[in-house]
Amino acid sequence: MLVFLNIVGNGMRGPKYENDLNDMEVKPTAEMAQRYKGLIVGIKTAHYAGPEWTPVEHAVEAGMIANIPVMVDFGTNRPERPMPELVTKKLRPGDIYTHCYSGLRNEQTESGHVNPAMFEARKRGVIFDVGHGGGSFAWRIALPAIKEGFLPDSISTDIHIGSMNSGMKDMTNVMSKFLVMGLPLDEVVAKSTWNPAREIHHEELGNLSVGSPADVTVLRLASGSFGYTDMYGARLKGDKKLIAELTLRDGKVVYDLNGITRPDWTTLPKNYLQSGDARWDAITPAPRGPPRQ
């Protein structure tokens, strides 16, 4: 597990805590990130409703001390702290602006174009993340932005009980949305794996290179008639869908949708049920060790 540490000491527990400026201390946050280096991969600030820049400034300062990126969920849109100033001045190269297709913080201009500040920030090295969630992705923002050439750097779910039971659903569903919006499959995969790994400075992850952990997902690209909804429940029709067939963690199968790694029942010994234990681990041959010397 890898985590972003919230600049708020009490964490994401609702407005009472997330708006408490006195609970956003730089030094303890940075010290905790340094103490658990490798586990804590970034600093997070989220949901702040006030006009002050304190959450962002303190998160960035903690990130500088711990030498890790900052992710910003910018909270309530306030004229005192506009999004363009955040991405062009406050954030550093390598810091992450999430919920980039929400449309809640002037990501789109009144004329229907991508806010120019986002293109400027990208040139500076600021990273733009999807962070779909339950209320942070709209077709009316994403489709024009992609048509205009503003693609996400990373595709992510922002999974929680609200998002997983609404338009977001799961990672493959979010990936599928970008497929039907016109992104090539290889780009969708890279933006869901390798790009996020680099964003959190864990280049050993998100790739299939020799020496990397054997964490592998096998996807099937299905063709048909599918529908995808955004945060408002608006539907976009699509003819493609990614389906997770198989997942390996450290080289071990942990999910197998259609049993593609398992033997057909007709190939098993007739007496395999007589042992009283016909579980998968019981009928799978144990791996052979090295020969005895």
What is the per-residue pLDDT across 23-67, written as a single tens digit (0 to 9) for each?
999 999 999 999 999 899 999 999 999 999 999 999 999 999 999
HSE of 45, CA atoms in CB hemisphere, 13 A: 36
Structure tokens at 148: 């205009």
Lowest-confidence pick of 2-11, 26-35, 131-140, 268-277: 268-277
SS3 percent helix, strand, coil of the chain, rounded to 5, is 30, 20, 50
Q: Residue 43: which of 192, 57, 131 has the closest Cα?
A: 57
The H-assigned helical ranges of 86-210 are 116-124, 139-147, 171-180, 185-192, 194-199
Residues 102, 105, 110, 115, CA torsion sign: negative
Distance CA 275, CA 16 (A): 58
Q: What distance in Å separates the CA atoms of residue 120 and residue 114, rounded to the nearest whole number?
A: 11
pLDDT of residue 275: 57
pLDDT at 269: 83
What pLDDT does residue 261 have? 95
Angle between helices 185-192 and 171-180 (to 10 degrees): 140
- Closest by CA position to 114, among listed 103, 125, 123, 126: 103
| Start-to-end Cα distance in the chain | 40
Q: Is the pLDDT reported for residue 91 higher than 50?
A: yes
Percent of the chain with pLDDT over 90: 89
Q: Above 90 in pLDDT, residue 278? A: no
Helix (H) or strand (E) holding 237: strand 235-249
- In this prediction, residue 268 has a pLDDT band, given cuts at 50, 70 and 90, of confident
Q: Are strands 96-97 and 70-73 parallel, antiparallel or unpaired?
A: parallel
- Quote the pLDDT of residue 291: 39
Phi, psi of 246 (to 5 degrees): -155, 140
Which DSSP category does 265 fall into? G
* pTM of structure: 0.92
What's the alpha-carbon Rg for the chain, to the nearest Å? 22
Q: What is the pLDDT of residues 200-246, one digit of tens each?
A: 999 999 999 999 999 999 999 999 999 999 999 999 999 999 999 99
Task: Collapse the DSSP code of 5 into the 3-class scheme (helix H, G, I; strand E, B; otherwise coil) and give the result.
Answer: strand
pLDDT band at residue 271 using 50, 70 and 90 as cut-offs: confident
Q: Is the pLDDT of residue 290 over 80?
A: no
Copy the structure tokens of residue 194: 């390798």
3-209 carries CATH number 3.20.20.140: yes
The pLDDT value recorded for residue 279 is 59
What confidence score (pLDDT) does residue 274 get?
Answer: 64
Q: Is the dihedral of CA 30, 18, 171, 259 positive or negative?
A: positive
Query: Taking residues 165-180, what's their average pLDDT?
Result: 98
Pairing status of strand 40-46 against strand 127-128: unpaired
How many Å apart are CA 152 and CA 207, to the nearest integer? 19
